[in-house]
Amino acid sequence: MQQNRKNTRLIQSFHELMSLLHIQNPPEMWGKNWEKAIALYNGNQQLYFLRNEYFTEANRYFKLNEEKSAAFYHALELIRGREDLITLVWLWKCLLYEENSSADAYDVENWPLPEVAMGPVVQMFPLIVAVSNLPSLIENYKMRGIPESILFDTLSDIGIIMEESRKRTGVWGIENFLLGWLLNHFQGRLFRIGRLQFMPKKYDQRFSVYRHLNTRKVIALKSERRLTDNADFVKGCPITPLGKVLQKTVTISLAEWEAVLIHGDTMLDVHIPRGDKLEYNQLVESYRSAIAIYSKLFPEQQFKGFICHTWMFDPLLQEILPEDSNLVKFQRDYYLYELFDDDSVFQTVFVSKPEDLQTLPEETSLQRAIKSQVLSGKQMRSAAGFLLFDDLYSGPTYYQKNQGEVQSLLEACE
C-alpha cells in the first residue's frame, strides 16, 4: 500500500479539498475544525484503519460474511488511492472520535458524502469512519471490566445495519443517520446485553410518575404542579397505561403518593436489534442482566428504570396480534405515556412505505396483520413507555393489566 512505502500527504487547503471532491456547501463545523485536524496528523501510523490488515482483524468482532467484507476491502482500496479521500476520512475521524463527540453535536446525518470520488461504494465511507475507533473501544471494555462477550454481541449490529441499509439503498454501506447510531457503539455508550441494547439516558419528559404508598399502583401525571396554597398536593392530567392523556385534572396527596420518576432522573434507553426472535423470557433476562451490569459500571448513578420508543408499542398491535405474541407481551410490560403518528413500522416491517399500500408484502403473519389494518384506513403509530426497576419483578403486564382500568387509578386519586 502507498502509505507503507512513504508518508501519505494530506491536502493542506480546506477549499482545495472540497473542490477536489466536488463537495459544495460543506458543513461549517468542518471548516472550523480543519486546522486542528490537520495539526493532529503525524503520519501513516494514524491511518491504521485504512489497512486491509486492520479490517481483517476487526472482523473477528464484526463477523461479516464474504460479500460484506469484500465491500470493505474495495472501499478501503479506493480511499487509499486518493489523498483527497484520505484527508476527508481523517477529518471525519478527528471530528467524531478525537473529541469523543456525539453525532447530534455535529448533525452527522446531513454531512455530504464524496459521491463523485467514490461512486456506488460511497456509503462505505461513513462505515469505515465508524469502525476506525475499535482499538479504543476494546481498551475501554478492558478498563471497565466489561466481558468480551458483550463486545461481540454489541458489534454484531454492524452486519445487521449493513443489511438494513442495503435493502433501502441497494448498495453496501450505511446511510449517515446510521453513522450517528453506530457512534453509540464505538464510543462505549451502548451495550447489547442478551437480546436487547441499552444506553443511559436522562429522563426529559414533561410529566412525572407517582406511586401509591399502600397499593403500590403507579400513575403518570402530565402538566403536574404543586398547589400554591398547599405544597403537599400535586395536580395534573392522568396518562393511562396505553398512552392516552385524559382531559381531567386530578389531585394527589404527597402523604399518600411518592414521586418515583421525575425530570432529570437517569433511565436505561432500550433498543431492539433485528435478527433473533423476540422471545419474552430472553427479554426478562436482558433486563435483569442490564440492571446488574449498569449498577456496576455506573455506581454513582441511580437508574430508575427502562424507557423505550418503538413501533412495537402501538396499542393497536394488542388488538390484531394473538394474546401470546411475544411482541404483545413486550409491549404490555410498559406504561405507555405518549403516542406518535409516524411511518416507522413500514421502515422496519416492510423496509419502506410504497405509494400504493396494496403492494405491501404479505410474507409474514405480522406483515399480513398490519397490511390489513392500513388498508382498512387505520393509522399505525409508535409509542414511548417506561418500565420502572421496582416493577420488573411484579409480573407481566403489571401496568396495563394488573393495574386495572383507568377508573381505578382515578378513584385512587380522589
Q: Give the model's confidence band at 404: pLDDT under 50 very low, under 70 low, under 90 confident, else very high.
A: very low
Same domain, 170 and 238: no
**Domains of the chain: total:** 2
Range of the domain at 278: 194-343+380-414
Res 228: pLDDT? 60
Residues 6+ apart with CB under 8 A from 133: 93, 96, 97, 186, 187
Domain C-terminal end among 189, 209, 242? 189
Question: What pLDDT sits at residue 2?
Answer: 42
Across the range 257-272, mean pLDDT stands at 95
Q: Is residue 352 part of a domain?
A: no
Can you give the CATH number for the domain in which 338 is found? 3.40.630
Q: Which residues, in sequence order, are CB contacts of 256 under 8 Å at separation 6+? A: 212, 213, 214
Using a pLDDT cut of 90, give the percent of the chain over it: 64
Give yes or no: residues 112 and 258 share one domain: no
74-111 residue pLDDT tens: 999 999 999 999 999 999 999 999 865 555 567 899 99
Whether the pTM exceeds 0.85: the reply is yes
Q: Which residue has the higher pLDDT, 409 or 296?
A: 296
pLDDT in tens, 298-341: 999 999 999 999 999 999 899 888 888 899 999 999 999 999 98
Where is average pLDDT lowest: 36-40, 233-237, 282-286? Answer: 233-237
Indicate whether 183 and 198 sit together in one domain. no
Residues 199 and 69 in one domain: no
Residue 373 in any domain: the answer is no
**200 and 177, same structural domain?**
no
* Poorest-pLDDT segment among 2-11, 108-117, 237-246: 2-11
Residue 305 included in any domain: yes
151-184 core/surface letters (b: 16 or more CB in 10 A; e: else): bebbbbbbbebbebbbeeeeebbbbbebbbbbbb
Nearest to 103 by CA among 163, 157, 36, 180: 180
Whether 334 maps to a domain, the answer reads yes
